Amino acid sequence: MRGPLGAVIGRYPSSDGVTQMGGIIRHNRKCRDITVLVSFIAFWIAMIVNSSFAFNQGNPLRLTYGLDYKGNVCGDKHAHPGLSELELRYWQNPNQVYQSGLKDSQFKLADARSICLSECPMPSEDSLNWVCDYPEGDIRLSMKDWINRNYDYFEFLTPEMRNSSLQLQGPCYPVIFPSVNVYWSCQFIARASNTSLKHWQQMGGVNINEDIVIDKSIHKSINSRSSVLKRYMADIGKAWPVLIVCGGILPLFLSVIWLMMIRHFVAAMPWITVVLFNVLIISVTMFYYLKAGWIGNDAISPIIGEHDPYISVYGRELTHIRVVTILMTSIMVVAILTSIAIVRRILMATSVLKVAAKVIGEVQALIIFPLIPYAILAVFYMFWISAALHLFSSGEVVQNNCNSNCCTYDLIAKRVKCDRCCGYSIHYTPHIGVAILFHLFGCYWATQFFIACSSTVIAGSVASYYWARGETSPEIPFLSVFSSMKRLMRYSLGSVALGSLIVSFVESIRFLLEVIRHKLKVSSHRHDSCLGKAAYQSSQCFLRCIEWTIKSVNRNAYILIAITGKSFFSASSIATELIMNNILKIGRLNVIGDVILFLGKLCVSLSCALFAFLMLDTHKYNSAHNKTSSPLLPVVVCWALGYIVSTLFFAVVEMSIDTIVLSFCQDSEEHQGTAQYAPPLLVETLSDQNEMQRLTQGP
């Protein structure tokens, strides 16, 4: 059984027997959960080492561009030769592309000979065009001249080289099929040019297959899961200005505005929040409909640059957009119906928010305090996202070991070589996958840790205000927020790290279960049984309930950590017992307040998503160089960043309410139902019997 907190929080006897005030501020504390703090420091060291590996081994250009026949990444100015202007990958040998698309063929598209160009070549209407290897050896052309000649130096070839080229062994290859730029790879159009094919046959070239399968293998490669994932990650790198504006600056501005409005227009804020939330979720859903092509003609297209209108190329990103559109439609309908259902409770929310408004008005440093964790998180996310881009591209470029009978002309050796003529690919080792999972877990744990630290500091400041009877007395330092920060950093970082680790661990288990289920589903040739689906949904629901419970317990534990300085588990036990003893009094009060605050966070994050859509819809992100494959991931990241930033600032209101309510309940318990320490500005709301009856019983 715990003792009364008043002995700790309100008064405590000093060594000389004189009762002192401000025990919460001045009683002796000691460091808690040191083992977890040491583990957290070790985790940060491991994150730095992991990121150093990524920066040393990764090259974000690999996420967007392909490899040429030398193993260079297209667009890499440091390659030999320099490829800064040559960003498109083009497969030179049409028969190799054809063979890679056959069902029973052992030849893969990754083994086909490819080269980097500045634009996709098109067959000529009156002659035969060629795409030749990079000029070297006896070909005395500069790269600039080679580009200006449309990559064609067939007229300079020796008879031996010409004969080799007519056998599709290079160094020059005919352009028989038109192609179009699809995500920086030249997608063949399965329609051979009759004129070019006729010239090719007249020159005595080997047979070139005209089957429609010529475009299947390239299309399959471009839409593979790994290629789509790389493009999504590349979108994050290209849309970094959008992330800064819509994921950093905009949510900061909107969150501060929301706090100021809570301070001055508390009665109107619940209504404004509910209405604005519905308008924003409808607007974001409509943007998804536009990008999905179900409204208007602004659907995302995998083709980059100008192209003939008859060409239609499918991209997997469009399917993802449409799936998310259906999901957003369902969420929109449920959200609107829920908003209608809580209209009758909005007056309750007004009373709850008055509590926080009064505290913010007295402890005004709370409004600007979230700028500190915001700045720390901003630096962390910039570092983390940069490391993530390098980590996802940190594979090793190796030449494939294909067992096909391929030969190609070597301009340096001046002869046809049939060994080591296969293409290059990026090899990912298992430890890279582990490093990526560790990096993702690190981001979640660090985010939860910084949010928890912010919440604990706010709780300590509000508790100081409450137990000093709402007065700026000598027992409370003038800047109570910074005093609370000092206590956190000196005594309770380990406890906060433990609480955030528990939440991260549960969330990681949910993620791993989803990955395992997906792997089992892919490896199985039959559909999931009803029993299997039911078991999976039950486990997910159970884990979500555990996660919600842990987050709720953690939030109240942080309050007791700030108040008492106890360890995480001790504070959780005290907070849980206090809540259970007053569940009828504070249950519905907290729920309706949390709902409005949650809607407020969604308003900020949806505004970020809406502005991200608008920025990504400009010419800059629809043109060739900076074109994003889909607005999906940048918009989702902006939404997530907006939600995290708003959580930091809304914690001022959230933790103020929870701290005041817990302190009020404990104060009432220790003084036979009459709160002795509640400040006058709060007593009229929390101790008013009619008000409390309306809050706990509803209208």
How confident is the model over 181-201, as pLDDT tens digits? 998 999 888 888 888 888 888
**At 174, is the secondary structure helix, strand, or coil?**
strand
Q: What's the CA gap between 317 and 212, in Å, rounded?
A: 24
Beta bridge partner(s), residue 399: 424
Q: Are residues 204 and 139 in the same domain?
A: yes
Q: What's the CA gap between 110 and 91, in Å, rounded?
A: 10
What is the model's pLDDT at position 331?
A: 92
- Among 27, 55, 612, 160, residue whose Cα is nearest residue 389: 55
Q: Are residues 172 and 247 in the same domain?
A: no
Q: Are residues 183 and 115 in the same domain?
A: yes
Q: What's the CA gap between 560 and 496, in Å, rounded?
A: 11
Domain-located, residue 529 = no
Domain-located, residue 5 = no
Q: Are residues 105 and 45 in the same domain?
A: no
Side-chain half-sphere of 383: how many Cα atoms within 13 Å? 16
How is residue 365 written in tokens? Answer: 């440093």
31 touches 489 (CB < 8 A): no
How confident is the model over 642-656, as pLDDT tens digits? 999 999 999 888 888
By DSSP bridging, strand 172-174 and strand 130-132 are antiparallel
Q: Are residues 347 and 410 in the same domain?
A: yes
What is the model's pLDDT at position 329?
A: 95
Query: What is the mean predicted confidence (pLDDT) over 606-614?
Result: 95
How confident is the model over 245-290, as pLDDT tens digits? 999 999 999 999 988 888 778 778 888 888 999 999 999 999 999 9
Conformational region of residue 240, where left means phi above 0, alpha means psi within -120 to 50, and beta covers everything else: alpha
Determine what percent of the chain falls in helix, strand and coil, rounding each to the nearest 5.
65, 5, 30
> In this structure, how many other beta carbons lie within 10 angstroms of the beta carbon of residue 160?
12
- Among 295, 280, 321, 290, residue whose Cα is nearest residue 634: 321
Last residue of a domain, one of 151, 181, 210: 210
Q: Are residues 590 and 630 in the same domain?
A: yes
Domain-located, residue 14 = no
Q: How far lies 314's CA from each of 64, 100, 178, 557, 685, in Å?
A: 18, 20, 17, 51, 60
Percentage of residues in the chain with pLDDT exceeding 70?
Answer: 81
With a cut of 60, say whether residue 129 has pLDDT above it: yes
Domain-located, residue 564 = yes
Q: Are residues 173 and 248 in the same domain?
A: no
pTM (2 decimals)?
0.85
- Among 572, 562, 550, residue whose Cα is nearest residue 655: 562
Percentage of residues in the chain with pLDDT exceeding 90?
Answer: 26
Point out the least confidently predicted range of 343-347, 436-440, 612-616: 343-347
Q: Are residues 493 and 547 in the same domain?
A: yes
Residue with tokens 């025990």: 23
How confident is the model over 354-404, as pLDDT tens digits? 777 777 777 778 888 899 999 999 999 999 999 999 999 888 888 887 766
Q: Are residues 588 and 644 in the same domain?
A: yes
Count of domains observed in the chain: 2
76 touches 100 (CB < 8 A): no
Please list, in sequence order, all residues whose beta carbon lies within 8 angstroms of the beta carbon of residue 483, skipping any fewer than 6 positions away. Answer: 25, 460, 461, 464, 476, 477
Helix (H) or strand (E) segment spanning residue 562: helix 530-564
Q: What's the gap between Cα 486 and its chain centre? A: 32
Q: Are residues 269 and 412 in the same domain?
A: yes
- Among 109, 113, 110, 93, residue whose Cα is nearest residue 101: 109
More confident residue, 414 or 211: 414
Q: Are residues 291 and 174 in the same domain?
A: no
What is the model's pLDDT at position 674?
A: 67
How confident is the model over 565-600, as pLDDT tens digits? 888 888 888 877 777 776 655 655 566 667 788 889
By DSSP bridging, strand 19-21 and strand 11-13 are antiparallel
Q: In the predicted model, what is the mean pLDDT of the chain?
A: 81
How confident is the model over 41-65, as pLDDT tens digits? 999 999 999 999 999 988 898 898 9
pLDDT classification of 508: cutoffs 50, 70, 90: confident
Query: What is the mean predicted confidence (pLDDT) over 626-637?
Result: 91
How is residue 624 written in tokens? Answer: 């060739």
Q: What's the CA gap between 362 and 377, in Å, rounded?
A: 27
More confident residue, 483 or 331: 331
- Among 329, 385, 383, 323, residue whose Cα is nearest residue 632: 323
Q: What's the CA gap between 302 and 628, in Å, rounded?
A: 9
Last residue of a domain, one of 210, 241, 269: 210
Q: Are residues 159 and 265 in the same domain?
A: no
Query: What does DSSP assign to residue 409?
Result: E
Domain-located, residue 391 = yes
- Among 529, 298, 455, 392, residue whose Cα is nearest residue 53: 392
What is the model's pLDDT at position 524?
A: 47
Beta bridge partner(s), residue 88: 117
63 touches 392 (CB < 8 A): yes
Domain-located, residue 658 = yes
Structural domain boundaries, residue 567 = 34-57+231-302+312-396+403-519+536-689
Domain-located, residue 357 = yes
Query: What does DSSP assign to residue 527?
Result: P
- Among 366, 1, 417, residue whose Cα is nearest residue 169: 417
Handedness of CA 651, 656, 658, 662 (dihedral sign): positive
